[in-house]
Amino acid sequence: MEALLIAGLGNPGAQYALNRHNAGFILADAIHAEYRFGPWRAKFEGLLSEGELAGRKTYLLKPQTYMNDSGNSVGPALRFFKLPLESLVVAHDEIDLAAGKLKVKKGGGDAGQNGLRSITATLGPDYRRVRIGIGHPGEKHKVTGHVLQNFSNADLDWFKPMLDAMMEAAPLLAKDDDKGFMNKVALILTPPKPEKAKDKKKDEL
């Protein structure tokens, strides 16, 4: 099986590290730590790390080009490793999904996400996307401020468990099982239903 390239999108620099717009970077860092990937090294105008997920050679990439030029990093990396577009997974924040919602899809439009727009302009649209819902502020003129703000304490109540669940489910991405990935994340995040109270009369018999 060909290698997998997971590109987490965000903006470089400490001032952006905890922005909602950096959800892709944050997921890449979590996978990197959990699955003991190699050290980050500067390559393809980004930071690249090598490792394995589910026995599949996997590259993690964090473009350092700023979000709007993500394609300038992702495109050269994919071409260098001679990978087909189906071997690319792009993780990014998504304002058109409610906060805490997750969707994985292949192809489609960019819905105003400038990182996707740049990658699509470079490679075409038929790559896989891990869409991490951060919610919409309600008015178009507030979008930039919303995505460039840090995750709030209230956000962390849903984002931290979601991040842990995505990290745990990440090997399913390497198996090209996008539906399984979404289902596992949902299962981890769904609290178990309380057991029904036993019938007292039945207990007495």
* Active site members: 21
Give the distance from CA 131 to its chain's centroid. 6
Partners of 131 in the beta sheet? 92, 103
What single-letter DSSP state applies at residue 138?
A: S
DSSP code string of 71-128 = HHHHHHHHHHTT--GGGEEEEEEETTS-TT-EEEEES---TT-HHHHHHHHHH-S-SE
Q: How far apart are CA 1 and CA 83, in angstroms?
A: 11
**Residue 134, CA distances (Å) to 17, 49, 125, 200 in order:** 15, 26, 22, 46
Residue found under tokens 């996997």: 58
**Residue 71, CA distances (Å) to 1, 2, 65, 127 in order:** 24, 21, 9, 12
